[in-house]
Amino acid sequence: MAAANQTLGQSMIRLFMDYIPTRVIYAAVKLELADNIDDAGASAQELAQKLDVDTGALHRVMRVLAGLGVLHQDDNDRFFVTEFGDTLRKDSPASVRDYAIYNHEIVYDSFKGIADSVRSGKPVIDDFFSFMRANPDKETAFHAGMSNRGRIETAAVLDAYNFLQNKTVVDVGGGNGGFLSATLARNASLSGILFDQASAIEAAKAGRGGSLPRCKLVAGDFFDTVPTGGNTYVLKRVLFDWTDEEAVKILTNCRRAMNNDARLLVIEPLIGRPNEQCPAHFYDMTFLVMLHGRLRTADEYAALLGQAGFRVGRIIPTTSEVSVLEASAA
């Protein structure tokens, strides 16, 4: 029994220390470590001179990164960036470096208050979006991080869902247009309507989400109204930002804008089964400490959709964290 307790205790201690790898990766991103190692690799001393950091400290960090598969350390003590580590480079097509910065400079600090959020049921940040607007540097980091994640998810959604059957896609709360831009590029017969607040529409006009041919840009508030004229409406990572009552309001406005034969796509991560270690369960904790929304099960989304006059037809998984719930008029 004593030996078993020691094993369990050691396992828990290792779990406590899971924050260390992610913080080391954050340091690597801030130092632009992967960006400064070419195909010839680098020793810790060579890289330390280039980055103007302490050689011994850098070697210790690189040793951790090699153990994580971000770097590879050869027999001559040279380090090379792996395919996995390439995702930390600025110019990599699969780059997630901005998402790492967002998580560690905004999300990580908020988790200091998680016990308070559990006691009160309220987030540490009372109004996340107002907080972002009041802190332009953090807002920039937030949007850059979302762009990283969104690019990967968008490819997964477009691989899983066939938009060729559609004519006009209305992206409700579509931000700077990244998802709609990729959708229009993949499907040349589509036209689109991008709908979001004025600041997001200005970003879309500046091309921050990519090219938007055959697209109308509309500024507004989805709590007031949603544009008409589409046969497919998209809510991608929108509803989980809001309470059930607010989500039903958004869905109701979508239903009012839609013809009876139009479709609604709710693209969200879904809470997994009981006792399952699911990324969505972890991600839901960020909503606990930062927002008033929450992640939901497929049944919970079906109930919200039902209140707004929809019924769920298909639930389509993707290779990313999100699934596509396809709904139509009830």
**CA-wise closest residue to 253 among 222, 232, 228:** 222
Examine the domain organization and report whether 68 and 189 are in the same domain: no
Q: At residue 199, does pLDDT exceed 90?
A: no
Number of domains in the chain: 2
Examine the domain organization and report whether 156 and 48 are in the same domain: no
Percent of the chain with pLDDT over 90: 78
Q: What is the pLDDT of residues 61-118, one digit of tens each?
A: 999 999 999 999 999 999 999 999 999 999 998 999 999 999 999 899 899 999 999 9
Q: What is the pLDDT of residues 16-69, one digit of tens each?
A: 899 999 999 999 999 999 999 999 999 999 999 999 999 999 999 999 999 999
**CATH number, domain at 201?**
3.40.50.150
What pLDDT sits at residue 2? Answer: 63
**CATH number, domain at 72?**
1.10.10.10
**CA-wise closest residue to 195 among 235, 161, 231, 157:** 235
Q: What is the pLDDT of residues 108-155, one digit of tens each?
A: 989 999 999 999 999 998 888 888 889 888 888 888 888 888 888 999
Domain housing 195: 148-329
Q: What is the pLDDT of residues 278-287, one digit of tens each?
A: 889 999 999 9
Last residue of a domain, one of 89, 106, 131: 89
Q: At residue 164, does pLDDT exceed 90?
A: no
Examine the domain organization and report whether 309 and 160 are in the same domain: yes
**CA-wise closest residue to 210 among 166, 248, 254, 177:** 177
**CA-wise closest residue to 164 among 179, 142, 184, 145:** 184
As a three-state string, the secondary structure of 139-163 is: HHHHHHHHHHHHHHHHHHHHHHCCC
- CB under 8 Å to 158, separation ≥6 — which residues? 182, 183, 186
Q: CA neighbours within 13 Å on the CB side: how many for 143?
A: 19
Examine the domain organization and report whether 168 and 271 are in the same domain: yes
- CB under 8 Å to 255, separation ≥6 — which residues? 264, 308, 309, 310, 329
**CA-wise closest residue to 176 among 198, 191, 161, 160:** 198
Q: Decide: 240 and 269 in contact? Cβ < 8 Å.
A: yes
Whole-angstrom Cα distance, residue 330 to residue 313?
10
**CA-wise closest residue to 111 among 9, 237, 19:** 19
